[in-house]
Every structure is written in C-alpha cells, then in structure tokens.
Amino acid sequence: MSARRPLPRWADIALLPAINLLLAFLVSGLVVLLVGQNPLHAIQVIIYGAFGYGDGLGYTLYYATNFIFTGLAVAVAAHAGLFNIGGDGQAYVAGLGAIIVALALDQTHWLLVLPLAVMASAAFGGFWAFVPGWLQAKRGSHVVITTIMFNFIASALMVYLLNRVLKTRTNMAPESDTIEVAGRLPQLRQFISFFGYSPVNLSIVIAVLALIGVYILIWHTKFGYAMRVLGANPTASRYAGISNSRMIMITMAISGALAGMMAINEVLGVQNRLVLDFVAGAGFVGIAVALMGRNHPVGIALAAILFGALYQGGQELQFVIPGITREMIVVIQALVILFTGAMEGLFRPSLERAFMLFSPEQKAQAIAVSTAKPEA
C-alpha cells in the first residue's frame, strides 16, 4: 500500500476549493428546490446582485474589506500554529480605540484622523489578542479557549461602555457620539460615481496594503521565517534558538491588530460612530476565508470577495425572490462556509489518491507489471 502524497500546489490552491465550492452550491441548490424556486435563477440573481451594477459591486467590496482583515488575522496566527478564534472580540474592542481618536480629532481632517485611528484600533485589537497569547506562552492556557472567552468579555465590556460611558445625554440608543464630517473616512463614490450609494470606502486601500504587508512579513522577513518554523515544528524551533513563547505573544498581537483594523471600515467609513455589535460575526467568517484562501494573501483576497459576494448577493436574492426568506439565505451562506471552511479537507484523500494514479511512479510500476514475463 503506497503512502499518501500531498497534492500539487495548483490543485491544493485552486482545484480543491473549487470542488468544495461546487458541492456547496449543489447542496444550496437543493435547498432552493425544496421551497419551489429555480436554483439557476437564484444563482443568476446572486451573481448580478454582487457584480452586475455599481452599488452591488460596492457592497461586495465593503463586505470583502471586513473579511480581508479578519481572514489575515486568522492566517497570521495559523502560520505560527495558533488558532485565533477571537477576531470578533478583537475587532469589537478595536472600535473603541478608533472612536476615541476620531471623536478627539474630528474637527481637523480625516487625513490626520485616519493614521492615528489605524494605530489606535491596531493597538487595542493587538492588546486584546496579546493577553491570550501571553496566557498560552507563560501559563499553558489554550489560545482557542481564551480567545473565545475574550469574545464574550469584549461583548459585555462594550455593552457597558456604550450604555454607561460613551452614550450621549441626548440619545437613548446605546451608541457613541457621531463623528464630524471632516473626520469621516471618504467613501469611494466621492471619487468614482460608479459605486452609487454603496458604503465601500478608502479602508479597502488599507486592506490591500495589509495583504501586501502580510505577504512580505511571512515570506520575506526573518520573523516570518521563525513564525513558520514555529508552526511547522515547535521542538525544532526551540532547538534553533527561537523563543517560542516570545513568538506566540508577538504573533497573537499582530493577529489581533489585523482583526482590529476592521473597525476602521465600520466606525470611520460607514457607521461614523460606535454602535452595538458592529462586527456582526465577521471574525468567524474570517476563519472560513483563511481556510479557503490557504492562509495566503492572494487566496484570502479572492475568498473575501467570494464571501462578500455571497453576503451582497444574498440580500439581492431576498429582494428579487420573495419565496426565499432571510433565514434561508443564512442557511445558504452557512452551507458555503461549512463546505469551504470546516469541511475543506473532505475530498482531499480522494483527490490525493486520484493524483497518485497518474503519477510517473505509478505509471512506471503499472508498465513493469504488465510487461513482466511470467515465471516458468
């Protein structure tokens, strides 16, 4: 019996996600059929709603911006062998840093507000991830458990702050004061009218810079190499003189900072204030984005656009086909996340065996067997 061999790079990056995505759409199509609707028409509506006109494309890019930040956060931790599941909480707390800077400087100009708000949100998000990293490095706590718990702590903390500290006296809603126009992040429609009234804004530029920065960090720096060594073999990393505990803490802080920068898109670019639950589960979607994108910035960008298209296309689907309810759209999105994220390895063993059948070694062995002379 031959040992399994890893898939070729192109099959691992492109073919396997494509098969998972196709299966997800097939199962989703069955769900649409069960309610008496045409699945092909539903797919057509989703694609048109996500890419067919300026507003739709703008909303797709707006959602994708959030998923790029949270997907990168998961990917950076994954390269070091860590599973940061606390992107939601880190982005939530980072919104506090962004709104503090924005409200303090919103009388000036967004060009001054933006860099300081980015640093503040990254610092708040980074700190919220650094603590679980410290607990794992110094006390042996598992980072998955602690980051989940920190999500709950962040949620409770923000509810308290928005109700007791940041809420203005003239407003009954649990939200902060609104940022002045001068301090708000410009939306792309102010430069390109094609995007209509969609909320996509300049934070997408920061997201692209983050993709490039993470690529350089992981594959072209000494720190990135140490991070990958730690993720591949912690024992070898220790024998190579790398401080594993130091790497865990720094990596988690970077991961949290990336998740935290999602707050720029929402707080400065769309809401213009801090509101309850503005993260809306983007941290958990980032896990599926990172898995589907194979923890590579290019793959994460493509996966984030796909999930952004599903979110925007789902809204369009609900509007165009009334027979498909909001709950069904959530089911369809969940199926895609399930097959492309949680079950991304479902077809890997079968695909590896299929590729082995066509490998040069297998062909040579088959030829040798077929041409071998029988013993007398």
Residue 341 confidence (pLDDT): 67
CA distance 345 to 96: 38
CA distance 339 to 283: 18
Residue 342 confidence (pLDDT): 66
CA quadruple 79, 25, 51, 95: dihedral sign: negative
CA distance 307 to 262: 16
Residue 152 confidence (pLDDT): 95
Residue 4 confidence (pLDDT): 63
For residues 297 and 258, the answer to whether their CB atoms sit within 8 Å is no
For residues 293 and 301, the answer to whether their CB atoms sit within 8 Å is yes
Instruction: Tell if the pTM clears 0.85, that is, is over it.
Output: yes
Residue 225 confidence (pLDDT): 95
- Side-chain-side CA neighbours of residue 324 (13 Å): 30
* Residue 330 CB coordination number (10 Å): 11
Q: Give which of 28, 38, 110 is closest to 323, Cα–Cα.
A: 38
Low-confidence ranges of the chain (pLDDT < 70): 1-4, 341-342, 344, 359-376
Residue 363 confidence (pLDDT): 61
Q: Give which of 246, 223, 203 is closest to 76, Cα–Cα.
A: 223
- What residues contact 34, with CB distance under 8 A and at least 6 apart? none
Residue 22 confidence (pLDDT): 85
Burial-class residue 30 by CB neighbours within 10 Å (0-12, 13-18, 19+).
exposed
CA distance 90 to 154: 8
Residue 40 confidence (pLDDT): 87
